[in-house]
Amino acid sequence: MFASTSHVHATCAPVVVRRTPRSRRDAVVVDARGAREPVGASTSTSTASRRRDLLLASSTALATLAVSATAPLVAPLVARAQDAGDWSSPGLASTGPPAQYIKTPSGLVFERINDGEGEPARAGDIAVFDYVMRRANGYFIYGTIDCGVGCGNGDPAEYMLGPSGNLIPGLDELLTGMKPGEKKRALIKPELGYQSNPKGLDPQPPEFGQRRQVEVHSGEPMIFEVKLVKTRRR
């Protein structure tokens, strides 16, 4: 009686079904002796394969999205820079005839891109002008022209010329004598630029990062491209 009962317990040991951690979802059968037998090993292989496929598809989709999102942003900026004509040149080089550089006694170096017409600007006038400001290596800082990111909205700057004004000396000298419509490109050394008062002299770009560029690089030459729109008498 007892022997048969023992035999029943031995042969009818309970079967436990457990699941492994989330990294493996295959069922495992554990018998009374602790033996483990995975169920659906082929399912595990196919699951891992599907996950690899999904990861690859996701990576490809993200790369495609990044390219498609960037492309429409880059194209207009390049187009607008090209449309800007002479304003887009990175330095003192001109796309027209060979540049004729002029160096004044103060050390200001400039080239005249085109002539203007009318009365020349003089000390005491309010000069209305467009400008693009760059570092000597061609790094763009700011421009009043509507040329895209980092530029103004197309409204020209207005500053008084002469001792009563607040322009950097090199730009004041450059504008004085220019006629409406005239355009010049100049290399302004630090002594004629922002060196003496980088935060106080004009022109100052509108954004903090741009003004910070002027302050940090005030000891370097600056390139200014200037077009006089008109002058107003006081």
SS3 94: coil
Let me know whether 203 and 127 are in one domain: yes
The answer to whether residues 117 and 219 belong to one domain is yes
Q: Is the same domain home to 126 and 53?
A: no
- Residue 84 in domain: no
Mean pLDDT of 212-219: 96
Asked if residue 91 belongs to a domain, the reply is no
The DSSP code sequence of 164-196 is TS-B-HHHHHHHTT--TT-EEEEEE-GGGTTTT
225 and 138 share a domain? Answer: yes
Closest by CA position to 203, among listed 140, 123, 142, 121? 142
Q: What is the pLDDT of residue 153?
A: 84
Same domain, 107 and 40: no
Is residue 22 scored above 50 in pLDDT? no
Alpha carbon distance 169, 203 (integer Å): 11
Asked whether residue 66 is domain-assigned, the answer is no
DSSP-assigned letters across all residues of 126-146? EEEEEEEEEETT--EEEESS-
Q: What is the pLDDT of residues 64-101, one digit of tens each?
A: 333 333 333 333 333 233 333 445 444 444 455 666 88
The domain in which residue 41 lies consists of 2-59
On whether both 54 and 118 belong to a single domain, the answer is no
pLDDT tens string 64-73: 333 333 333 3
> Are 48 and 111 in a shared domain?
no
Domain of 154, CATH number, reads 3.10.50.40
The count of domains in the chain is: 2
Across the range 30-52, mean pLDDT stands at: 49
The residues, any chain, with a CB within 8 Å of residue 108's CB and separated by 6 or more, are: 170, 173, 174, 186, 187, 188, 189, 192
Q: Which residues contact 128 (CB under 8 A, 6 or more apart)?
A: 156, 157, 158, 228, 229, 230, 231, 232
- For residues 50-74, give the mean pLDDT: 40
State whether 109 and 197 are in the same domain. yes
| 209 and 107 belong to one structural domain | yes
Does residue 152 sit in the same domain as residue 203?
A: yes
pLDDT exceeds cutoff 80 at 166: yes
Are residue 108 and residue 205 in the same domain, yes or no? Answer: yes
The continuous run of DSSP H or E covering 69 comes out as helix 41-83
